[in-house]
Amino acid sequence: MTTDTPTARPGGVDPDAAAVASVTVPSAHGSCPFDPPPAYREAHQAGPITRIALWDGAPCWLLTGYRHSRAVLADNRFSADARLPGFPFITPGRRELVARTTPTFLRLDDPEHARQRRMLTGDFIIKRVEALRPQIQQIVDEAFDRMIAKGGPADLVQEFALPVPSLVICLLLGVPYEDHEFFQEHSRILLDISAETERVEASQRALTDYLGELADRKLREPDDGVLSRLVARGELSRAEAASMGLLLLIAGHETTANMTALGTLALLSNPAQLERLRAQPELMKGAVEELLRYLTIVHLGIPRVALEDVELDGTVIRAGEGVLCMVSTANRDSEQFEDGDALDVTRDARRHLAFGFGIHQCLGQPLARAELQIALATLLRRLPNLRLAVPFDQVERRTESVVHGLRALPVDW
Amino acid sequence: MRSWLGYGELVALRNRFTHRTEVPTMQVTVDQDRCCGSGQCVLTVPAVFDQGEEDGLVRLLQVRPGPELDADVRLAAALCPGGAITAHGEGG
């Protein structure tokens, strides 16, 4: 756990300065589509706190264990404000992006973070999401009807995993779904860490303009969507409203889409777990938590910068140094999850960090849970003979994205 | 008017006459300033926690849930990302 440190000497000799590990972030993925990149796992074998240098030479700490990631994410001595010196960026493009974007609560500290986030907390309460379940079920059923009518084989990503959360978030925000090709394509580029900076900027501009115009329209013609209610409060600038709308739109469809596709592949690759879940559908809620833990699709880590010197189990993280909380390896940490590399749908995985931890923990998690539970339960029920339509090792992965997942998932039934 | 016996004493007195062994002494407090509306508490123990319809922030339904809820309340406190829930006292 973190403690205040009387031993930290600002300006003193840093005993760890020489011990910079050769791990790079981002690191290449291994052969298993469910596992975090092997380099992070190897680093963890050597120790849960690794000092690395980022692409720009900036010192950064890689936290690969459960305990440290959880502690840092809950500690307000670590900031999420990307405008502060020392904040770790994993590519030049990510840094450029921040410089050009109006920050949302995701990249702000309290009190401004709380002010913005609390404009939305009422929209994502458990009760409201529970009330949405019949509509989510209908969206899921209709996606299946269309896919089954077309006949197999089909790409589960394009036919099901991507449209379902896109339709749900559009419904909730009040974004017209007919624009889905536009926002899905630009979202994909925005999250692509291998895309050229100019392309990322162009996509960012296109999406921000789109959300800004949509916000203007909601002011003139209010509806009962989240975006309309947000602008009606009159507490946000146009740029802030556009940024927040964009955050919700991207977070709302990219994450759930990739969890749905990757979760399906994980179950297909673990037939015993899949059979267990078919036989006992009441296990689904717990199974979704376990899939969230096991797959933890944010492989690049959650970035923070230390606001003051903080001691972490004897290691001093200096003010102004970056930290990457590697929640993907944390969620496999055997100290917290016994046999953590195994998928076990009967495990109590609720303490996972797949939604992050601390005040920035995912706002839309009740929605994500409801969508995943309904989508996967319906998938197992309606397609009892679901199977891969290509060999396992030919399933195309999205290794270049901030959100890990699958490019396509060819299936038959 | 204030009772001349504290809650703990009342429980002890009741237990002496009813021979009950379990004592609901755990007390829960919440800090709305730290709440970030994740809903983890409502998901874990809906009998003890709720969320405001408008602000989405935590509402405490029971200050002293029975001992049968001790473990769940402690889990809710551990899962709360903002550290807004505190479980005081014995009972789990």
Q: Write down the residue that tokens 């953590």 correspond to.
A: A340
User: A15 or A195: whose pLDDT is higher?
Assistant: A195
Q: Which helix (H) or strand (E) holds A329?
A: helix A327-330
Average pLDDT over residues A279-299: 97
B18 pLDDT band, cuts 50/70/90, is low
A18 pLDDT band, cuts 50/70/90, is very low
From A192-201, A380-389, B8-17, B71-80, the region with the lowest mean pLDDT = B8-17
pLDDT of A400: 87
User: A100 or A262: whose pLDDT is higher?
Assistant: A262
DSSP-assigned letter for residue A334: T
Question: Using CA atoms, how far apart are residues A174 and A229, in angstroms rounded to an integer?
Answer: 10
Count CB atoms within 10 A of the CB of residue A205: 12
Count CB atoms within 10 A of the CB of residue B53: 11
Does residue A37 have a cis bond before it (omega within 30 degrees)? no
| Coil, helix or strand at residue A28 | coil
Q: Minimal Cα distance from A73: which residue of B? A: B81
Average pLDDT over residues B6-32: 70
Spatial CA neighbour of A355 closest among A341, A369, A344: A369
Does residue A390 register a pLDDT over 70?
Answer: yes
Does residue A364 register a pLDDT over 50?
Answer: yes
A2 pLDDT band, cuts 50/70/90, is very low
Query: Which stretches of A151-222 are DSSP H helices?
Result: 156, 163-173, 180-190, 197-220
- The percent of residues in chain A predicted with pLDDT above 90, rounded, is 88
Neighboring chain A residues of B73 at a CB cutoff of 8 Å:
none
Question: Using CA atoms, how far apart are residues A238 and A219, in angstroms rounded to an integer?
Answer: 11
Whether the CB-CB separation of A84 and A51 falls below 8 Å is answered with no
Q: Write down the residue that tokens 């299946």 correspond to.
A: A144
B23 pLDDT band, cuts 50/70/90, is low
Does residue B1 register a pLDDT over 80?
Answer: no
The pairing of strands A405-406 and A410-412 is: unpaired
Contact A118 B52 (CB under 8 A): no
From B54's Cα to the closest Cα of chain A, the distance in A is 5
Query: Which stretches of B1-92 are DSSP H helices?
Result: 7-18, 40-44, 70-79
The DSSP bridge partners found for residue A302 are A325
Q: Minimal Cα distance from A126: which residue of B? A: B39
Question: Using CA atoms, how far apart are residues B36 and A175, in angstroms rounded to an integer?
Answer: 25
In A36-137, DSSP assigns E strands to 49-53, 59-63, 78-79
pLDDT of A15: 46
| Coil, helix or strand at residue A32 | coil
pLDDT of A99: 83
Average pLDDT over residues B4-29: 67
Residue A351 corresponds to which tokens in the numbers above?
């303490």
Q: What pLDDT digit, counting tens, does each position of A339-358 carry?
A: 999 999 999 999 999 999 99
Contact B82 A365 (CB under 8 A): no
Does residue A13 register a pLDDT over 60?
Answer: no
Mutate to test the interface with B, among A109, A116, A126 (most CBs of B within 10 A): A126
Q: What pLDDT digit, counting tens, does each position of A83-118 carry?
A: 999 999 998 888 888 888 899 999 999 999 999 999
Facing residue for B37 by CB, picked from A74, A121, A350: A121
The predicted complex's ipTM stands at: 0.90
B79 touching A (Cβ < 8 Å): yes
What is the tally of helices (H) and strands (E) in chain B? Answer: 3, 4
Q: Phi/psi at A307 (nearest 5 deg)?
A: -90, -20
Neighboring chain B residues of A348 at a CB cutoff of 8 Å:
none
Average pLDDT over residues B37-52: 97
Does residue B92 register a pLDDT over 50?
Answer: no
B43 touching A (Cβ < 8 Å): yes
B68 touching A (Cβ < 8 Å): no
A114 touching B (Cβ < 8 Å): yes
Contact B79 A351 (CB under 8 A): yes
Contact A122 B53 (CB under 8 A): yes
| Coil, helix or strand at residue B46 | coil
Question: Using CA atoms, how far apart are residues A290 and A297, in angstroms rounded to an integer?
Answer: 13
A334 touching B (Cβ < 8 Å): no
- Rounded to two decimals, the pTM is 0.91
Contact A350 B83 (CB under 8 A): no
Neighboring chain B residues of A125 at a CB cutoff of 8 Å:
37, 39, 42, 51-53, 56
